[in-house]
Amino acid sequence: MSIDLRITGGTVVTPTGTITADVLVADGRITGLISPDTPVADARRTVDATGKLVLPGMVDVHVHTREPGFTHKEDIHTTTLQAAAGGVTTIYGMPNLNPPTTTAKHLQDVLDMYAASSIVDYNHNPAATVADEIEPMVALGVNSFKIYMVVDTGRTYPHPAGTGMHGHGDLLRMMDTIAATGTRFIIHPHDQHLMDYIEGEYLARGDNTPQGYAQAYAARNGVIWDTAIEVVLRLAEASGCKIHLAHMQTRRSVEAVQAARARGVDVTCEVNHWLPFLSTWDDVERLGPYALSYWVPDDARAAIWDALRDGTIDIFASDHAPHTREEKEIGWTEMWSAHTGTPGIQYFYPLALDAVNTGQLTLQRVVDLVATKPAEHFGLEGTKGRLLPGHDADIVIADMDAPWIISDSGALSKIGWTCYDGRSCSVRIERTFVRGTEVYADGEVTGRPGHGQLARGR
């Protein structure tokens, strides 16, 4: 067999640890990990990774591309420009689009858009709100579904009609439907009835500030999150449905997941870029609407970091959620009218690796969080997430000693800004390969729209 690519001299991060090895690639897959002094006569290209880490590409299961319907914010092409630059080799899009992906027809339309525009590989999380559409959408190749247990107050986005579900009976019925397909059900947990009361108190006294909004969503030790998560976990236990919890951010939610797993519930959960790197009160005071997403009090953040280290939280997902400056600026005085969410796909993997340098996480935990576990739990076992023979050659080369400053000028998002402007990072992504094809090198995206393929397990 002829070898298309040999990555030589690097430290390769495998599921069981780091090794000094060369990675061989042919026909888009890893064919071997060999000793650096092993001769390979017919390698068409050799890339020197001496002194660098060779890592699996990130599998990001929570990405808002904004296409179709909201392409003034972002689109599939610009999302995957950032993915390639950030070491993300597979994305799972989200359904809060216009029209929302609630049917097989709308899903097929979106998959066609990915096929035309995506630089990296992809899948999609349709909204599970029409029971008769679940099996037809699974037949199109999806591995997971999504719903929001939230209704927007004072705005109609980012949680549009057609993507939400709140009644416990409706949730159980949908879990029964999805359980029969073997796919995973992503839940944005939220107790809307409690939130109506809590945020109503803030709005009644005229506190429509970023600080008021931040406090409302974290009120009473995160009661709106904890009560919703307890319900979801109990319904998952009753239905046998595989559940994935988005936006973990409280101590009690960590304890609830641990208890549910002990009872045999198949539950995975994620932390998004904003929690470890953008959720302090100082961030809220300094950046206001540009930091929201959510504020996480110090005790809860400490619990989340512990859960990242011990494996309770098994997935890092960016929750890349771009909005224009105009959609953010109104939040300084009318936060409940601002579009919430922050862009993050371009910088999450470097910042996670930076956390290795600062001693907050081990290298193996980061690789598990960004690659191994997302692939394992989202239907890509044997295809993505590991640097092993037979797997797709989704490979990142990173320099762990390359300090730089993140800036708006380097942000590839259509919105032209990043909440990390001015943030220092000690790790730089040097090259990204998707199925053996280089899509990012030395500061430039080299991949072409249409290179991405629908990601499927083997």
The whole-number pLDDT of residue 376 equals 98
Percent of residues, the chain, with pLDDT higher than 70: 100
Between 368 and 157, the higher pLDDT residue: 368
- CA distance linking residue 163 with residue 148, whole number of Å: 6
Beta-carbon count within 10 A of 437 CB: 17
- CA distance linking residue 392 with residue 111, whole number of Å: 20
The whole-number pLDDT of residue 270 equals 98
When pLDDT is cut at 50, 70 and 90, the band that residue 51 belongs to is very high
How would you class 386 by CB atoms within 10 Å of its CB: exposed for 0-12, middle for 13-18, buried for 19 or more? Answer: buried
**Residue 434 pairs with which residues in a beta bridge?**
437
Q: Give the sign of the dihedral formed by CA 301, CA 410, CA 359, CA 365.
A: positive
- Average confidence (pLDDT) over 112-122: 98
Residue 201, token pair as written in the block: 């108190």
**Residue 18 pairs with which residues in a beta bridge?**
13
**Residue 392 pairs with which residues in a beta bridge?**
29
- Whether 90 contacts 60, CB under 8 Å: yes
- Average confidence (pLDDT) over 220-225: 98
Question: Quick one: how far is CA 232 from the chain centroid?
Answer: 21
In one-letter notation, the amino acid at residue 98 is: N
- Average confidence (pLDDT) over 376-387: 97
Look at the block and give the residue holding tokens 């629908």: 454
pLDDT at 276 over 80: yes
Nearest-CA neighbor of 388 among 79, 14, 27, 136?
A: 14
When pLDDT is cut at 50, 70 and 90, the band that residue 274 belongs to is very high
pLDDT at 443 over 80: yes
pLDDT at 374 over 80: yes
Residue 18, token pair as written in the block: 């780091």
Nearest-CA neighbor of 395 among 136, 24, 132?
A: 24
Architecture of the domain made up of 58-377: Alpha-Beta Barrel (3.20)
The whole-number pLDDT of residue 155 equals 79
The whole-number pLDDT of residue 39 equals 84
Query: Average pLDDT, whole number, for the chain?
Result: 97
The whole-number pLDDT of residue 42 equals 84
- Average confidence (pLDDT) over 19-37: 95
166-184 per-position pLDDT tens digit: 899 999 999 999 999 999 9
Residue 222, token pair as written in the block: 């995160």
- CA distance linking residue 172 with residue 327, whole number of Å: 35
**Residue 445 pairs with which residues in a beta bridge?**
440
pLDDT at 1 over 80: no
Nearest-CA neighbor of 81 among 95, 69, 70, 65?
A: 65
Q: Quick one: three-class SS letters along the chain? A: CCCCEEEECCEEEECCEEEECEEEEECCEEEEEECCCCCCCCCCCEEECCCCEEEECEEEEEECCCCCCCCCCCCHHHHHHHHHHCCEEEEEECCCCCCCCCCHHHHHHHHHHHHHHCCCEEEECCECCCHHHHHHHHHCCCCEEEEECCCCCCCCCCCCCCCECCCHHHHHHHHHHHHCCCCEEEEECCCHHHHHHHHHHHHHCCCCCHHHHHHHHCHHHHHHHHHHHHHHHHHHHHHCCEEEECCCCCHHHHHHHHHHHHCCCCEEEEECCHHHHHCCHHHHHHHHHHHCCCCCCHHHHHHHHHHHHHCCCCEECCCECCCCHHHHHHHHCCHHHCCCCCCCCCCHHHHHHHHHHCCCCCHHHHHHHHHHHHHHHCCCCCCCCCCCCCCECCEEEEECCCCEECCHHHCCCCCCCCCCCCCEECCEEEEEEECCEEEEECCEECCCCCCCCECCCC
Q: Kindly list the domain boundaries of the chain, sorted by start residue.
A: 58-377
Nearest-CA neighbor of 454 among 142, 127, 104?
A: 142
> pTM higher than 0.95, yes or no?
yes
Whether residue 68 is preceded by a cis peptide bond, meaning omega within 30 degrees of 0, is yes
- Average confidence (pLDDT) over 360-364: 98
333-357 per-position pLDDT tens digit: 999 999 999 999 999 999 999 999 9
Residue 184, token pair as written in the block: 């995973």
Residue 154, token pair as written in the block: 């004072």
The whole-number pLDDT of residue 159 equals 87
How would you class 264 by CB atoms within 10 Å of its CB: exposed for 0-12, middle for 13-18, buried for 19 or more? Answer: exposed
pLDDT at 8 over 80: yes
